[in-house]
Amino acid sequence: MIRVGINGYGTIGRRVARAVSLQDDMIVTGIVKTKPDYVSMVASKDFKIFVPDKSYEKAFQDAGIKVEGTVENLIDDSEIIVDATPEGQGEKNKELYVKRQIKAIFEGGEEPEIAQASFNAYSNFEEARSKDYVRVVSCNTTALARTLHPLRERFGIKFVDATIVRRATDPNDSKKGPINAVEPSLSIPSHHAPDLKTVMGGLNVSTIAIKAPTTLMHVHAVRVDLEKDASKNDVIEAWGSYRRIMEVGKNSGITSTGQMMDLAREFGRDRSDLYEIAVWSQSVSVQGNRVSYIQAVHQESDVVPENVDAIRSMFDIADRDRSISMTDGKLKIEKRVF
């Protein structure tokens, strides 16, 4: 059993904690929280609570929540830390991990240089093998790697041009916007293109990012020039054996992210998450070697299975396909076509 500590229990941290606790080969040693809020109140029933340092303890005591110790104590009781603190905090925390000689996973808000390897389960599982510091790439980069990897394997890729319509913020966040504007990122390529190359080395890619006033999902419009001609069926077939890609067809009646997340609720999974990248099969259009498609990305959860697989790769306890199967089995990710 690999002993996993979770530092930062927000959107990503709480989902990774749950996913790890479902696996047969790893357990959660505890989580680090900064405030005794509703999330701490619920989490304290399932996980041991730790705090960044002793100055945080009193607020928890006042709220009647038991604190087991500081992040240092959690590190001492763990073999790896998943750092899901806000963007930039992971870099500060790394000093502590190095000093106490513990492995750590960082998330996509950190710079690639924080880790020895960036990670996506489909495209570069082996690069994290036996490493001490690994970064799971962002939700958008994970989604692009998921659907592009099978196309690169099967047909080769000359060039990718992706437009990313980003959700403004997560559903629990009422501070950020925009709430009535569309905000394009004015640098092209956006930061997603170089990020994608960290897990798909040598890919020729450009990205455009536009923020939209929604919290549910991102939507990507992707154009790919393949190295050889293909048919629409060939492309859909290439995705066919990958469980973390879900094809959504015309008969499903799903034409928006609102319905896509409603479908996820129908699955009845933890937090109504949609770990799979949903491709609208109707949108897949192929002309010669040029493929276009549109996909929807549940930003709160698509990186969760990747965090679990990164742990197995870093401890060298499973190969890619075995790890993915184990993770998917426990998270109830099965090949779904609608």
Instruction: Please identify every residue annotated as catalytic.
Output: 139
Smallest CA-to-CA distance from 121 within 308, 279, 333 is with 308
Contact residues toward ligand NAD (CB under 6 A) are: 7-13, 32, 34, 52, 84-87, 89, 107-110, 138-139, 170, 299-300, 303
User: Minimum CB separation from ligand NAD for residue 117, in Å?
Assistant: 16
User: Minimum CB separation from ligand NAD for residue 183, in Å?
Assistant: 16
Q: Tokens for 285, please give them.
A: 């259009």
Closer residue to ligand NAD in complex, CB, 73/89: 89
User: Minimum CB separation from ligand NAD for residue 56, in Å?
Assistant: 9
What does the H/E/C string look like for 147-215? HHHHHHHHHCEEEEEEEEEEECCCCCCCCCCCCCCCEECCCCCCCHHHHHHCCCCCCCEEEEEEEECCC
Q: Are 2 and 28 in contact (CB under 8 A)?
A: no
User: Minimum CB separation from ligand NAD for residue 116, in Å?
Assistant: 17
* Separation of alpha carbons 111 and 108, rounded Å: 7
Say how many residues make up the chain. Answer: 338
* Separation of alpha carbons 330 and 160, rounded Å: 33
Closer residue to ligand NAD in complex, CB, 236/278: 278
In our burial notation (b when 16+ CB lie closer than 10 A, e otherwise), range 292-310 reads: ebbbbbbbbbbbbbbbbbb
Closer residue to ligand NAD in complex, CB, 78/281: 78
Residue with tokens 């530092």: 7
Closer residue to ligand NAD in complex, CB, 166/236: 166
User: Minimum CB separation from ligand NAD for residue 159, in Å?
Assistant: 26
Q: 174 vs 11, 83, 111, 140, 205, CA distance in Å? A: 14, 24, 26, 21, 33
Residue whose CB is nearest to ligand NAD in the complex, by number: 10
Closer residue to ligand NAD in complex, CB, 173/262: 173
Q: Are 91 and 83 in contact (CB under 8 A)?
A: no
Angle at which helix 139-155 crosses helix 232-239, to 10 degrees, equals 120
User: Minimum CB separation from ligand NAD for residue 155, in Å?
Assistant: 28
Closer residue to ligand NAD in complex, CB, 124/138: 138
